[in-house]
């Protein structure tokens, strides 16, 4: 009986195969899972494009994204191959632009008050969770890339890249390297003197900053950041506002110490950026071979000329004595006011000498201030046109990110809407070239947010 059933089943199977061949079934059906293996396609229809470099918008156009890149841009209809799964987004004449880039962030402590950050009662796990929320909120404000200039963000960067956490592309520096008593030294006096057996401070254990004195220690600490995946290196070369023991006018590190970091970074085909405000600190760092000055708010004309001659980047923030001022201790308030007085002068010199100028926020320790990332970009119209501001926060900042060379973890072009560029895109409900204040309210005005070809927000079906 069992043998008879096998014969019957075999006969039915042969009949079915023959029928499939007669109707061409095998030729017209895809093998299982083939379609799911194809790159996803998203078609933006009827959009005006700010491409990240031009001073004006394009005529109504269509943009096809396949996988994580922009495949085609055309004023004509774009056909999608039959059988391809495509999400169509009717832009209705809205503006499509590159994702925004913040060139100096601190994701690890942007939202966390300094008292919480340094408290031994705050667990590392709590801080890790907080930075995940920070990263997600930053992306949903339209910032698809962030150059993190001090902090232990390697773990969250990895989680974002693996799709486990939502957030921007991160270009990490790792811990800021500082000499004893200077901008990255947040120890209290009771922790001195330091001996070979002295435990590391909380900031060093966290990976927020490291203390390095002398060429050998600078080399070691620089290489440790590179080992962890730093895309660029950050050193403190001058006095700071948030730090307690260093006056604003002091220079930090000798030229040989700074040059040691530059050589170590160069051996990994990347570069060194330094925290510096004063002409003396900036010029010392430039002589040592650094490629970027972070801040520079007390720049003078001689320093601006030197930076122009050497092609040094100026990574500025629009620091003013307004509601976007970073909260500081009362003892640091006079230093902060001194910086505010130099902001207008530095931007004036940057424009006069056509310096490579990047825009950034450097937000720290304030959840309210973190939400004003777009507003801090919009206030740049005090010195530049809206088109210049948006270009700075897209294609210009992308040039700075590319300075990491082979250490760049995201090969491809960022900051532009061009064919074959990485698909980091925003669809804006209005024209930011005419009304840059639109970017102050991303929840309302960014109706689509895309990073790496994936939709993280889409209010248009």
Q: Quickly tell me which residue has 């169509």 as its tokens.
A: 88
Is residue 154 within 8 Å of 228, Cβ to Cβ? yes
Handedness of CA 41, 45, 51, 52 (dihedral sign): negative
> Which residue in the list 157, 234, 379, 391 is annotated as catalytic?
234
Residue 346 β-bridge partners? none
**Has 362 been annotated as catalytic?**
yes
What are the φ and ψ backbone dihedral angles of 352, each rounded to 5 degrees?
A: -60, -40
Could you give the angle at the alpha carbon of 63 between the alpha carbons of 61 and 68, nearest 5°?
Answer: 165
Q: In angstroms, what CA-CA distances link 408 with 169, 268, 291?
A: 11, 11, 16
Residue 86 β-bridge partners? 41
Quickly count: other Cβ atoms within 10 Å of residue 295's Cβ. 28
Question: Rounded to whole angstroms, how far apart are CA atoms 102 and 401?
Answer: 10
Structure tokens at 282: 């900036």
With a CB cutoff of 8 Å and minimum separation 6, the contacts of 207 are 151, 152, 154, 174, 175
* DSSP-based three-state secondary structure for 56: coil
Based on its alpha-carbon atoms, the radius of gyration of the chain, rounded to whole angstroms, reads: 26
What are the φ and ψ backbone dihedral angles of 288, each rounded to 5 degrees?
A: -80, -10
Q: How many CA atoms lie within 13 A of 82 on its CB side?
A: 3
> Which residue in the list 324, 362, 366, 424 is annotated as catalytic?
362
**Has 234 been annotated as catalytic?**
yes
Find, among 110, 102, 100, 107, the residue nearest to 363 by Cα: 110
Report the number of secondary-structure helices (H) and strands (E) in the chain.
17, 18
Question: Rounded to whole angstroms, how far apart are CA atoms 52 and 417?
Answer: 7
Is residue 183 within 8 Å of 243, Cβ to Cβ? yes
Q: Known catalytic residues?
A: 234, 362
């Amino acid at each position: 009986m069992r043998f008879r059933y096998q014969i019957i089943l075999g006969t039915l199977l042969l009949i079915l195969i023959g029928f499939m061949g007669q109707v061409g079934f095998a030729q017209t059906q895809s093998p299982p899972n083939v379609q799911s293996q194809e790159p996803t396609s998203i078609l933006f229809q009827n959009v005006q494009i700010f491409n990240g470099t031009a001073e004006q918008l394009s005529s109504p156009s269509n943009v096809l994204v396949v996988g994580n890149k922009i495949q085609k841009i055309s004023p004509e209809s774009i056909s999608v191959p039959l059988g391809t799964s495509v999400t169509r987004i009717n832009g209705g004449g809205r503006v499509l632009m590159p994702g925004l880039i913040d060139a100096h962030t601190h994701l690890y402590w942007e939202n966390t008050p300094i008292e919480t950050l340094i408290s031994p009662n705050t667990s590392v796990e709590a801080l890790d969770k907080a930075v995940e929320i920070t990263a997600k909120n930053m992306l949903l404000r339209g910032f698809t890339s962030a150059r993190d200039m001090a902090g232990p963000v390697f773990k969250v960067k990895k989680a974002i890249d693996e799709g486990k956490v939502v957030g921007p592309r991160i270009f990490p520096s790792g811990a800021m390297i500082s000499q004893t008593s200077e901008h990255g030294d947040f120890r209290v006096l009771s922790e001195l003197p330091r001996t070979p057996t002295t435990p590391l401070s909380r900031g060093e254990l966290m990976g927020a900053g490291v203390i390095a004195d002398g060429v050998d220690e600078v080399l070691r600490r620089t290489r440790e950041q590179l080992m962890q995946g730093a895309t660029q290196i950050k050193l403190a070369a001058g006095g700071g506002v948030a730090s307690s023991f260093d006056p604003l006018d002091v220079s930090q590190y000798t030229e040989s110490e700074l040059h040691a970091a530059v050589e170590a970074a160069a051996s990994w085909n990347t570069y060194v950026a330094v925290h510096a405000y004063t002409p003396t600190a900036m010029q010392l760092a430039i002589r040592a071979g650094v490629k970027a000055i972070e801040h520079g708010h007390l720049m003078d004309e001689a320093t601006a000329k030197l930076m122009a001659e050497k092609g040094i980047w100026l990574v500025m923030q629009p620091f003013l004595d307004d509601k976007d001022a970073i909260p500081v201790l009362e003892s640091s308030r006079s230093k902060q006011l001194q910086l505010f007085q130099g902001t207008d002068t530095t931007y004036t010199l940057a424009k006069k000498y056509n310096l490579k100028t990047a825009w950034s926020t450097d937000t720290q320790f304030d959840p309210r201030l973190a939400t004003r990332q777009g507003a801090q970009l919009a206030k740049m119209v005090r010195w530049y046109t809206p088109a210049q501001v948006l270009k700075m926060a897209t294609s210009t900042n992308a040039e700075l990110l590319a300075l990491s060379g082979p250490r760049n973890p995201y090969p491809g072009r960022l900051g532009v809407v061009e064919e074959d560029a990485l698909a980091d895109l925003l669809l804006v409900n209005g024209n930011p070239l005419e009304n840059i204040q639109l970017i102050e309210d991303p929840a309302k005005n960014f109706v689509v947010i895309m990073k790496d070809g994936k939709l993280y927000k889409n209010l248009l079906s």
